[in-house]
Structure 1
Amino acid sequence: MQQFNGKSKEEFVHGVFSSIAHRYDLLNTTLSFNQDKYWRRYAVKQTNIKPGGMALDVACGTGMLSIELAKAMGGRGKVVGLDFCENMLAKAVENINKTPYVDVIELIQGNAMDLPFPDDTFDCATIGFALRNVPNVKGCIAEMRRVVKPGGKVVSLELAKPSAPIFKQLYYLYFDHLVPILGKLGIGKDGPYQWLPNSLKMFPHQSVIKDMFTEVGLTDATYYELTGGIVAVHVGTK
């Protein structure tokens, strides 16, 4: 399994997502058996974002969670989507242009580890399927907390580690063997979708992520396991 520190992981992840951007949404829906839409809706509900609010979507990728935030705000307010990958942002522009939220969502190229915003700017900050890809998980959560207003929510939607014995075995069999094959069929080459099972194995258990939320100063930290525990939504309040 590939090991990283700091910049090398950042560069590797940038390369992975640059190469899969054009198929990312289709493969997400296929590989999740169409559950990804439900997961995003659930995560956005935990933000308590209101119409006219200000939301930040960190590592926004192709913009699908940003769109869900804009929808929850009734098309009023502002969503800032930030990502470091040009190809993913280009796909996000395409996706957002198909929605009524073009004037609500602003896309910015930037780094999740060094958010280019003042303290206490947003009503909520979300990150979807990207926390396991950052060089420093706790540091990223701390940055999200920094830019959220007091009383605001930090919410992470991420792959998790199910605990039910038989389900857990089937899940890892699927992730270790079938996902890379389906990913190869989808994008036409080996490699990028092998990162999915590898990154999950290296990522801490959802209970450890909850502790990190508390350690950076978020209160009432909790998490919800969805679809048998294959994903978790973490929530903390500043």
Structure 2
Amino acid sequence: MTSLTEEHKRKEAFIRNLFAQIAHRYDLLNTLLSFNRDKAWRRFAVKQCRLRPGGVGLDVCTGTAMLALEQAKIVGPAGKVVGLDFCPEMLAVAKKNLERSPHGHIVELVEGDAMSLPFPDNTFDCATIGFALRNVPDFRQVLREMIRVVKPGGRVVSLELAKPRWPIFKQIYYLYFDRLVPLLGKLGVGVEGPYSYLPASLKTFPHQEELKRIFEELGLVEVSFYELTGGVVAVHAGTKPMGWGE
């Protein structure tokens, strides 16, 4: 359990309201703004989970449940996936996505807090979080909770926006990200603001090298990260050690 500071409470309320505004267009804009790469990114992230048929997975800040559905494809009907989110509007879209998918019955949606996951220790074979770690009030606390609920030997995986390294590509990317993404987002959802927050949130989030070190500081082993599409996004993955807590 953790208590939120006033600053954290303000951020939580802001993020909940932001995603409530964009929920109805979230999946479409993800696909458009990523040039349809978001699906491949999610598949790659789930591959790092090392899930098997019959496994049990968790997707934190599941949003519209697209990452949870990628897990469901692997664990199959003998397995189970839980998708947790704190935004009812996003979960409403997630429910529709599950109803349309042949794998939807494998996923259970839970409204809850990523900072204090409502699950016992050592419950899941993996825990993922996609495009949300930079949005939570305290990302270290969220990672601690993900580690807590994963079984020893299980995997913690983050798919998140990253900071490209290549000089020319980096300049073009930030021009697109800072100028065009907010404009396209405004046209897509009909309100100004939500997609202006996107580039701002990345600037204050740790570089992928630093996030790897944080994974290790929190106790994960076999930590690695992968930069995808020229470093536009990064997937971080680590293993909860056997004998954790003994």
In the alignment, the residues of structure 2 paired with residue 63 and residue 137 of structure 1 have an alpha-carbon distance, to the nearest angstrom, of 20
Name structure 1 gaps, 5 residues minimum. none
Structure 1 range deviating more: 67-76 or 174-183: 67-76
Structure 2 counterpart of 1:186 = 188
Structure 1 counterpart of 2:73 = 71
Q: Aligned with 2:127: secondary structure?
A: strand
1:50 counterpart (27, 49, 52): 52
CA positional deviation for 1:103: 2.3
Q: How does 1:34-183 map to 2 (within 5 A)?
A: 34-183=36-185
> What are the superposed Cα offsets for residues 22-44 of structure 1, whole Å, 9 maximum, x if unpaired?
00000000000000000000000
CA contact under 8 A between 1:54 and 1:124: conserved in structure 2? yes
Structure 1 range deviating more: 35-44 or 208-217: 208-217
Structure 1 counterpart of 2:215 = 213
> What are the superposed Cα offsets for residues 22-72 of structure 1, whole Å, 9 maximum, x if unpaired?
000000000000000000000000000011111000000001001111012
How many aligned residue pairs are there? Answer: 235
CA contact under 8 A between 1:75 and 1:100: conserved in structure 2? no
CA positional deviation for 1:212: 1.1
Which amino acid letter does the alignment assign opposite residue 211 of structure 1?
R
**What is the TM-score with the length of structure 2 in the denominator?**
0.94
CA contact under 8 A between 2:97 and 2:104: conserved in structure 1? no
CA positional deviation for 1:75: 3.5
Q: Aligned with 2:222: secondary structure?
A: strand
CA contact under 8 A between 2:98 and 2:105: conserved in structure 1? no
Which amino acid letter does the alignment assign opposite residue 76 of structure 1?
A
Q: Aligned with 1:223: secondary structure?
A: strand
Structure 1 range deviating more: 224-233 or 67-76: 67-76
**What is the TM-score with the length of structure 1 in the denominator?**
0.97
Q: Aligned with 2:143: secondary structure?
A: helix
* Divergent runs of 4+, >2 A: none
| CA RMSD, Structure 1 to Structure 2 (Å) | 0.9
Name structure 2 gaps, 5 residues minimum. 1-5, 241-246
Structure 2 counterpart of 1:7 = 9
Q: Percent identity?
A: 64
CA positional deviation for 1:73: 1.8
CA contact under 8 A between 2:76 and 2:106: conserved in structure 1? no
